[in-house]
Structure 1
């Protein structure tokens, strides 16, 4: 008989171990996720001290959140790719090609028929970009799944081909300026929701966290699964709400620059007060897009049959095939989804730069793979989480932002990123060997 039994109330008995171990088991907090949070705090505090208090400021944290969105969006798709024991080296070039396509559509093609800043321009551009990205990913997926060419080779070819096509679209010329509405997806003063809506979104998020915890507890009770102690449920609810509201608070104490605020006041007939006009940025639109992508991808990976198929294939491809899973079509859909997410990231990148350039997405494949691996996605397949990958993206961008503030040369930054990737893979190997 097992040593740990379930009590009549449905609570698991306290497992043997020290207080910290019992706490982790009661709250079911992933130790790898906790380790990433600890590493992130060390990075933040270290750079804050080294830069003389420049890192942990509302301005830098707000910019950091916006800069992280593109890699975070890409990392959510890379998790599914790596879980199935594949790789995608083409996402940076794919992003560059789709960005150039969207730039040409809204800056050169549509103005001939709709004029500049037409209310439909941004939507048509975005839809065309999403279709283009999905088709590129679908094309690569078909070659990988049905022609039997390894994903490493196919996407390596895409890494070269899509970058060349991106240059060919405009012969290497940068396309600018872009549609005003489209630029909202890139953040900035106009691409943020302000203080009021930020707090509303934060309160709604807190309600959803609490409802999710209650719903999970009811589901466990319904199927007679072990439940967390009530104190652990309260702790998780309070922690989640505190993190959300803390992030909202930071975003609302970062204000528009004086020049932008004055221009806004003049345009709207607002008298300029002697003390100045303080307008909060609030949550940036690209951050909301990345969070929405993370929620949808988590739902796909954990709640849909497609997600279960992905992890089954990664765990044992032969067994998944024998179980009747159409592994080839699953692979095709994964790469098509990766192309779709590359288009989403391309839209954010293009809107943030207010231009489409051939160099967009350079080295993004490195940062995306590193983010997924740092976030706990095993290169051996079968293991990975969306939340972990997005946190890994934040770790990678924090390193890059901190080194930029510390005036570290770009070649040295690349050395650090490469070293972090190698260490992450080594830690994953150690973790898997100990868990056997």
Structure 2
């Protein structure tokens, strides 16, 4: 079975490992940002506490960014996702506090389930409505979703006449993280171990598929290097999550409620991976499978690469486009659940400017505004880059207007880099 041609030097190593140079550049930029903010913040940025909070804050944007990849791949845009997050979040909060208790009773264990399902269904319906207008009525997505930005932001206020809705169902709140909304040290290590096994299994299966179809194989050293890097990242992330411990007062209350004796040095309970972070990771895995391994995903990229050719090939481009926006609506609703659960309240400002961060995450992650190219993994890293910038500037005491300026500049630079990359690749 042929192996990839061995090459010397840095370019040769990258070619042998088949690493996406744009992805490598994003990871390098993320490392530089982290090291710089860690130095400027006096060693606070890379502390377990800040990294744990950073991942939780990234979760809602990361979930929406996975859907925005498919939207942009089809040469469209969705400016309404921030408002849709706020609208569906407000709807789910109102269902839990005002509507469902009348029918299910107070403290019903299924209240949060019904609210979540109805909220996601509402997001899918709204996304489908916008997708229908775009795909079947021919109105540009920029105009439709710009209108949606205004309509759903006003709708969130209209639902509750502008009041903040709180508190939320206790189980629903687990999706926002916090002490109870984390899996703890044991389960975090178990998940890390399972992830390592899955990475190894996927690499073995990929190598077998290449052998079966006669494709060139990566050198064994390259396979081992990638596997070791993945294992180190997974183990390191688990160690960081577990190093952040519950505050002593919360740990003491937990011990008292469970009849535990608090040791003399205090009770040390690690947070572990937060539930919203796990939700974002699972969403990324599912969306990667959808985009790469399903007919729908192939159709999406075909439409983005050449809409006319896709139409001539028999693809129902209008229906596929409508489904893309339905998917985007559902993901915005999931992000709305995470955001409202994290605050334990739904406010009218929820999701404001999140459309900017979501689009920026997808573009920074390598999704081309010209359509036809983009990766889910890149969007997740892009979301982490955007949130890292915001978190770092908050730690440094940078004013909000200047934060917006920096984010805007970063977005423009990302689009410029994309255009340069496409010209060189042409």
Q: Does the CA contact (< 8 Å) of 1:89 and 1:152 recur in 2?
A: yes
> What number of residue pairs does the alignment pair up?
426
Residues 273-312 of structure 1 aligned to structure 2 (within 5 Å): 273-312=263-302
Q: Distance in 1 between matches of 2:253 and 2:60?
A: 29
Residue of structure 2 equivalent to 1:34: 24
Residue of structure 1 equivalent to 2:2: 10
Q: CA deviation at 1:358?
A: 1.1
Q: Does the CA contact (< 8 Å) of 1:82 and 1:379 recur in 2?
A: yes
Q: Does the CA contact (< 8 Å) of 2:5 and 2:16 recur in 1?
A: no
3-state DSSP of counterpart to 2:385: helix
Once superposed, what is the RMSD of the aligned Cα atoms? 0.7
Q: Which moved more, 1:412-421 or 1:235-244?
A: 235-244
Matched, 1:143 2:133: yes
3-state DSSP of counterpart to 1:110: helix
Q: Distance in 1 between matches of 2:282 and 2:346?
A: 24
Matched, 1:75 2:65: yes
Q: Does the CA contact (< 8 Å) of 2:26 and 2:382 recur in 1?
A: yes
Residue of structure 2 equivalent to 1:194: 184
Residues 212-251 of structure 1 aligned to structure 2 (within 5 Å): 212-251=202-241
Q: Does the CA contact (< 8 Å) of 1:44 and 1:56 recur in 2?
A: yes
Q: Distance in 1 between matches of 2:197 and 2:332?
A: 31
Q: CA deviation at 1:179?
A: 0.2
Residue of structure 1 equivalent to 2:110: 120
Q: Does the CA contact (< 8 Å) of 1:116 and 1:179 recur in 2?
A: no
Q: Distance in 1 between matches of 2:116 and 2:204?
A: 37
Segments of structure 2 that go 5 or more residues without pairing to the other structure are none
Q: Does the CA contact (< 8 Å) of 1:71 and 1:393 recur in 2?
A: yes
Matched, 1:259 2:249: yes
Q: Does the CA contact (< 8 Å) of 1:117 and 1:181 recur in 2?
A: no
Q: Does the CA contact (< 8 Å) of 2:64 and 2:331 recur in 1?
A: yes
From 61, 66, 70, the equivalent of 2:56 is 66
Task: Please give the per-residue CA displacement for 1:50-103, whole angstroms capped at 9, x wherever unaligned.
Answer: 010010000000000100001100000000000000000000001110001000
Q: Distance in 2 between matches of 1:367 and 1:273?
A: 44
Q: Does the CA contact (< 8 Å) of 1:80 and 1:310 recur in 2?
A: yes
Q: Distance in 1 between matches of 2:191 and 2:236?
A: 13
Q: Distance in 2 between matches of 1:13 and 1:156?
A: 49
Segments of structure 1 that go 5 or more residues without pairing to the other structure are 1-8
Q: CA deviation at 1:345?
A: 0.2
Q: Distance in 1 between matches of 2:106 and 2:192?
A: 35
From 360, 368, 373, the equivalent of 2:358 is 368
**Which of structure 1's runs of 4+ aligned residues deviate more than 6 A?**
none
Q: TM-score, normalised by structure 1?
A: 0.97
Residue of structure 2 equivalent to 1:327: 317
3-state DSSP of counterpart to 2:266: coil
Q: Distance in 2 between matches of 1:174 and 1:242?
A: 43
3-state DSSP of counterpart to 2:170: coil
Q: Distance in 2 between matches of 1:182 and 1:117?
A: 12
Residue of structure 2 equivalent to 1:348: 338
Residues 139-218 of structure 1 aligned to structure 2 (within 5 Å): 139-218=129-208
Q: CA deviation at 1:112?
A: 2.1
Q: CA deviation at 1:116?
A: 3.1
Q: Does the CA contact (< 8 Å) of 1:64 and 1:398 recur in 2?
A: yes
Q: TM-score, normalised by structure 2?
A: 0.99
